[in-house]
Structure 1
């Protein structure tokens, strides 16, 4: 006696194309989620892109330039660095245009360049322990007594600084200046600021290293502006700093000529 196979009820059968579509959809979702996770990790620990919001770094960087910022290397003198507002630096023109919730999500996962809201970008002039002063008899910025030749990056027609000062950079902080000195609200501008949190006058002029996001290494957009951002050769001649003090030393007088 032979058993006759029974056919499954038609209503219980699942079309093959439906199960195939579901598998493909699941695979696509996994790929997208995985890509977003990888992108987020890269943004958090390796690098991200920023949009230049102001004129303070002209002509090295122009408003609207997209720059890549890497986070793995320690910053040094001469680097162009991105950092969080250390407190009271940002005006409306430099705060960047904050995106909506969807745009912010794509920033966080690294699919859109950061709108730079809450961040600034300047050139690192003084490391902890460095003595930075303006200016020598030829109008040049001095770092540890060594004059800087800034002609390769300083905005055409700008003086290295119209403001005279002598500072010693404290431990854990840096001294920064924009390449467009006459349009940059940088460390010099905050040397007389009063600290609302009970610190010393002028503390806000020095950016904490833990607020530094990273160093800008290249302009990647617009395409015609593509270029690397390196350290100008003049910084190689700067002597090593002395011990970094716990508190900054600030004088609004010129160094001895």
Structure 2
């Protein structure tokens, strides 16, 4: 009787074992989960690395700034996001960002070290005795504005005379409160607008 009982038990045990097809499916699921997790980890690692590099680049080499206020309209409007590049070899007409009283201001370079600046009551700007061409201003935008410096004014060594494009409201180097911008205050030249997308492009 004992051998018969053992054979019956063996038959029952063998019948309960999963088939090869079922084993293959389960193995496929396990392998799929492993591949999925590897891909997920790889994707997360890549995204974190890219984000870290983007922050590093934006902080050290290409600061991204958001424009507030309207002192640079129509060139730049509130909400625009711009990229800043090198602060070397700046020239007349460049749009720059600089630190002022724990803020970052954006203005346009009008004159550099040693040059003489004069402004008439109609808002025409003269550098070294020559009236400068300002195509970036809107028609009728020339304005004497908040000017309380003694004119003509010679730009000190290592400094820049800057003005906003919206001359009527901009407080800039025409006013003693701001004065000329020292090279150490500079964040850099603004070269590219990246937002909004419909206005993306170079800054002139």
> Would you say 1:131 and 2:116 are equivalent positions?
yes
How far does the alpha carbon of each residue in 1:224-249 deviate from its partner, in whole angstroms, 9 at most, with x for none? Answer: 3234223xxxxxxxxxxxxxxxxxxx
Whole-Å separation in 1 of the counterparts to 2:138 and 2:171: 15
- Which structure exhibits the higher relative contact order, with contacts defined as CA atoms closer than 8 Å and separated by 6 or more residues? 1
Task: Report what 1:217 is aligned to.
Answer: 191
How far does the alpha carbon of each residue in 1:151-204 deviate from its partner, in whole angstroms, 9 at most, with x for none? Answer: x12243233424372222222221110011001011112x2x4xxxxxxxxxx4
Distance 1:18 1:220, change over 3 A: closer
Task: Report what 2:25 is aligned to.
Answer: none
Distance 1:227 1:17, change over 3 A: closer
Which residue, 61, 68, 84 being the options, matches 2:83?
68
Aligned-partner SS, 1:188: coil
Distance 1:57 1:169, change over 3 A: same
How far does the alpha carbon of each residue in 1:54-82 deviate from its partner, in whole angstroms, 9 at most, with x for none? Answer: 11011112222222322375322210111
Whole-Å separation in 2 of the counterparts to 1:215 and 1:66: 14
Distance 1:83 1:72, change over 3 A: closer
CA RMSD after TM alignment: 2.7
More helix by percentage: 2
Indicate conservation of the 8 Å contact 1:58/1:179, yes or no: yes
Whole-Å separation in 2 of the counterparts to 1:21 and 1:142: 67
Aligned-partner SS, 1:133: strand
Whole-Å separation in 2 of the counterparts to 1:175 and 1:61: 19
Indicate conservation of the 8 Å contact 1:155/1:181, yes or no: no
- Output aligned runs, 1:162-241, within 5 Å: 162=145, 163=147, 165-189=151-175, 191=176, 193=177, 204-230=178-204
Whole-Å separation in 1 of the counterparts to 2:87 and 2:76: 22
Indicate conservation of the 8 Å contact 1:175/1:206, yes or no: yes
Indicate conservation of the 8 Å contact 2:87/2:189, yes or no: no
Task: Report what 2:140 is aligned to.
Answer: 157
Task: Report what 2:50 is aligned to.
Answer: 35
Indicate conservation of the 8 Å contact 1:141/1:160, yes or no: no
Whole-Å separation in 2 of the counterparts to 1:47 and 1:30: 23
Task: Report what 1:55 is aligned to.
Answer: 70
TM-score (norm 2): 0.71
Whole-Å separation in 1 of the counterparts to 2:198 and 2:39: 40
Aligned-partner SS, 2:162: strand
Indicate conservation of the 8 Å contact 1:154/1:160, yes or no: no
TM-score (norm 1): 0.58
Distance 1:224 1:30, change over 3 A: closer
Whole-Å separation in 2 of the counterparts to 1:20 and 1:227: 42
